[in-house]
Structures are given as structure tokens and as C-alpha cells.
Amino acid sequence: SSELTQDPAVSVALGQTVRITCQGDNLRSDYASWYQQKPGQAPVLVIYGKNIRPSGIPDRFSGSSSGNTGSLTITGAQAEDEADYYCNSRDSSTNAFVFGTGTKVTVL
């Protein structure tokens, strides 16, 4: 079955830039979507497709893709960006979806 691998944790100084990566074979043919989850809350979509931000998501969030790796970048991280982040993509051969293993972002 398809898998998406993320670094377990990253930290970033307030106002600095952090990039979260997601690796998997699915991403050679499909873009990742990205979700932010804060404790006790449902996930929130922050990026999908070729760097598309839903309404209400700050423009400090951006996405990119290269080969089998998708990336979410937070430029000028804020305290409220401290959360868990998950990537997701679809396996085009099975139409099943999969979430990445998740990355905990700490803003110092």
C-alpha cells in the first residue's frame, strides 16, 4: 500500500521560515494537500493542488512539489502556526487516499 513519510517534528523561530516535506510514490503523479491540526480540533485544509490556498488561509502558507516530494512552507511563522501538519494524496491506481505520518511544528 502507498505511504507518505514526513519528519516527526521541526522547530522554527518566530518570524522565520520552515519547510515541511512529504515523500511518497503517489506524489509523482498527484499533488499533496496539506492540513493543520491543533490540539482538540478537527484538521483544517491549508494548501492543495499546485499551491492553492483556501479562503481565509494566510499567504504565509505555500506549497510546492518536485519528483516524489511535496512541501509546505510557512514564511514568517507565527505563534498560532504551532500545530501538527499532515499531507494527503490519492493513489491513482486504487483511488484510495493516504495521510502522511504528520509533522509537529513548534514555534520558538
Partner 1 sequence: QVQLVQSGAEVKKPGASVKVSCKASGYTFISYYMHWVRQAPGEGLEWMGIINPSADSTTYAQRFQGRVTVTRDTSTSTVYMELSSLRSEDTAIYYCARNCYDSSGYYCIDYWGQGTLVTVSS
**Footprint of partner 1 on this chain (CB under 8 A)?**
1, 30-31, 33, 35, 37, 42-45, 48-50, 52, 54, 84, 86, 88-90, 94-102
Provide CB contacts within 8 A for 49, sequence distance 6+: 31, 33
Among residues 6 and 18, whose Cβ is nearest to partner 1?
A: 6
- Residue closer to partner 1 (CB basis): 17 or 94: 94
**Min separation Cβ 96 and partner 1, Å:** 5
DSSP string computed for 5-50: EE-SEEEE-TTSEEEEEEE-GGGGTS--EEEEE-TTS--EEEEBTT
Report, in Å, the least distance between residue 25 CB and partner 1.
Answer: 15
Q: Is 68 left (phi over 0), alpha (psi -120 to 50) or beta?
A: alpha
Q: Report in angstroms how near the CB of residue 12 gets to partner 1 at its nearest.
A: 20
Query: What whole-number distance in Å separates Cα of residue 73 and Cα of residue 94?
Result: 29
Which position has the grid cell 513548534? 106
Nearest distance from residue 15's CB to partner 1, in Å? 28
Nearer to partner 1, 54 or 58 (CB): 54
